[in-house]
Structure 1
């Protein structure tokens, strides 16, 4: 595509600081590009805001509890009964969103099901709640303390970041079940014999559908994370950019991912929710939004993606997924999935969203408001993310 309209990030930031930047959410931009074309859209719009709010299992919290005499090298720790990984340094630790409480009462009644886990601890801390911490150590000459137990809040920690190794998947499976019994998965319960089709992502609002080749997103990109400011650290785990794409650059299978971080102090529990998924376990629903600077017509074109142009793979989680096969039965457009029913193997199957469309739009609109008020400037990626 020939590019005629060009802008720089510095020019866009100058307009933001003066309160003159034109900012649209991705849904608004999609309508503008379809009605007016990419050239006019590139001329008129400076920034497109995206958003998603969905369970993101590869999320967690990196924190430091600080030292108090006598000092301690923690080897085991629990927060509200949820095990924490301590193999980092003396008082550094990582809490995973999917780690369940060891004494979860639901698990005692229904083995394999959990009501409370790492994601809930993260939400409680962001809400300002008190959390019970228990720590143990084997003791050394320089770290003689062997036990510590007390109630803590977020402000008790010397440092605390939300650190998510894999968020914002670029496309994902729509899960179905071809077996004769219910399957319990991270995509939610799947009824037997194509009883339902569960799907994720926020469609045309989703960040990586609006910049499919990572032309504006990379190391150091400032983002909306959990209701506050965060940053992209680079590609996430399982980042696997695929050559099979449609004309909008949208991959036809699960593809790119992001690793992100942000200070938990200042986050909003509205956009960081601990969740319990029946028969699977615990997770954390995360609100994540990325601003896309409209630097040229190409980027305007990509941010004009619509739900009808996003095609998601339908995968049988009953037979194929447990074997790691991921055989694709067919594809369905995101627009069809939003319609409430799709046809699979000649059968009408009701569709169930795992991602919240309402909250995803709220993320995009909140980020839009920050930029319009001059409270949020865009950053230049310091390292590109592989897209091929």
Structure 2
């Protein structure tokens, strides 16, 4: 039987309010107190849109680009940008640059193998910042594509097309990482000191997009989002998307679950919201700013967006022994409220916590999206296809 609600709004109605400058928009952190003080029904009546935000390392990101042609034309088989290899097994002058691909001549990697300083994410950041990067391409040559080499300096403006295309972003919940071995290890969760001397965690807690719509009721194929300072879209479930039936009353899964695949035109983006990162001993990755608007269609959505850090539990896992061999043992569950306090207690041991996600930038993303909606510069979209969540 379908649920019945006291409050019933449509995205079309909310968009009309946005166009008239009458929409009431708050960020997800503000919504926590509104729901707590007024209840979900009144909150749903009062609020039209809740904006979310995260600015966190997201390895599965990159750029799909087309270099354009010049005479004589070429079908590239190998492409490099600032000596970072790109995948060129596409048509003619299309290629894909992955955020985690390291430069072939990285000086740090020559001294410390595996400790990459510069890679694909840094190239993307440089392009967004208007900097010049060096393009090198090779081809085997054909009758219709006779050219065999191209080498020149380019900027983002010189690319025929540049699309940020990220296969897996916005993880819904994730691990808090510790290391139970006797030596420091270097991971995609950052360096983890021996004997559980630090606990590293990611995502933005109560601001995080998929904590505020845990069943993806308003997020699907075609959902317009804030992506790296520009407008982008959800294009489906991300890779490693997992449907999780076991959740708490807020719909929050107790471990990694949903993910999103997203895209956007890089020529409208801002380098402030995309940064190349380098984790010692692991390699390159990218910090990506993503904000998703959640329409207040009914009191159920108000209840979901009223989720607080205290409501969100995170699994603590050992990245020293367990993670490398694929063991999914959970040492404990802790809340984001505990993580943000600066320390957690696991098996009687007090461990300092370290956020990999920038909470201040996550809030900035949510507030930037909020301002766009309030100004009428950003309308919501109906998903044309759902993403299964359970």
TM superposition score category, shorter chain reference:
over 0.9
2:374 alignment counterpart: 372
Whole-Å Cα distance in 2 between the matches of residues 284 and 341 of structure 1? 26
Q: Deviations over 1:182-207 (max 9, x none)?
A: 11000000000001000000000000
Q: Give the number of equivalent residue pairs.
A: 388
Matches within 5 A, 1:218-297: 218-297=220-299
> Which residue of structure 2 lines up, in the alignment, with residue 116 of structure 1?
118
Q: Does 1:105 align with 2:107?
A: yes
User: In the alignment, does 2:333 pair up with 1:340?
Assistant: no
Instruction: Tell me which of 374, 384, 387 is aligned to 2:386.
Output: 384
Q: Equivalent residues in 2 for 1:290-369 (5 A)?
A: 290-369=292-371
C-alpha distance in 2, partners of 1:169/1:309? 17
SS in structure 2 of the partner of residue 12 of structure 1: helix
Instruction: State the alpha-carbon separation in 1 of the partners of residues 42 and 185 from structure 2.
Output: 49
Instruction: Name the SS for the 1:7 alignment partner.
Output: coil
Counterpart-to-counterpart distance in 2, 1:43 and 1:335: 28
Unaligned segments of structure 1, at least 5 residues: none
Q: Deviations over 1:212-251 (max 9, x none)?
A: 0000000000000000100000100000021111110000
**Distance (whole Å) between structure 1 residues aligned to residue 213 and residue 166 of structure 2:** 20
Instruction: Give the deviation of 1:366 after TM superposition.
Output: 0.2
Which of 50, 61, 66 aligns to 1:48? It is 50
Q: In 2, distance between residues paired with 1:373 and 1:324?
A: 48
* 1:127-160 deviation per Cα after TM superposition (whole angstroms, max 9, x unaligned): 0000000000111111111111000000111111
**Alpha-carbon distance in structure 1 between the residues aligned to 2:25 and 2:281:** 42
The SS at the match of 1:193 is helix
Question: SS of 2:196's equivalent?
Answer: coil
Q: Deviations over 1:342-385 (max 9, x none)?
A: 11121100000000000000000000000000000000000000
Q: Which runs of 4+ in 1 moved over 3 A?
A: none
Report the CA distance between 1:326 and its aligned residue.
2.3
SS at match of 2:388: coil
Which residue is equivalent to 1:138? 140
Whether 2:14 is the aligned partner of 1:12: answer yes
Map Cα deviations across residues 155-191 of structure 1 (whole Å, 9 max, x no partner). Answer: 1111110000000000000000000001100000000
Hey, what's the Cα distance between the residues in 1 that align with 2:93 and 2:337? 48
1:95 counterpart SS class: strand
Distance 1:88 1:4 in 2: 52
- The answer to whether the aligner puts 1:95 opposite 2:97 as a matched pair is yes
How far the C-alpha of 1:270 sits from its partner, in A, is 0.5
Give the Cα separation in 1 of the matches to 2:75 and 2:4.
59
Aligned equivalents of 2:344 and 2:374: distance in 1?
Answer: 39
Gaps of 5+ in 2: none
TM-score (norm 2): 0.99
> Aligned to 2:115, what secondary structure does the other structure show?
coil
The equivalent residue for 1:164 is: 166
**Alpha-carbon distance in 1 for matches of 2:328, 2:144:** 51
Alignment partner for residue 83 of structure 2, among 81, 84, 109?
A: 81
In 2, distance between residues paired with 1:117 and 1:361? 27
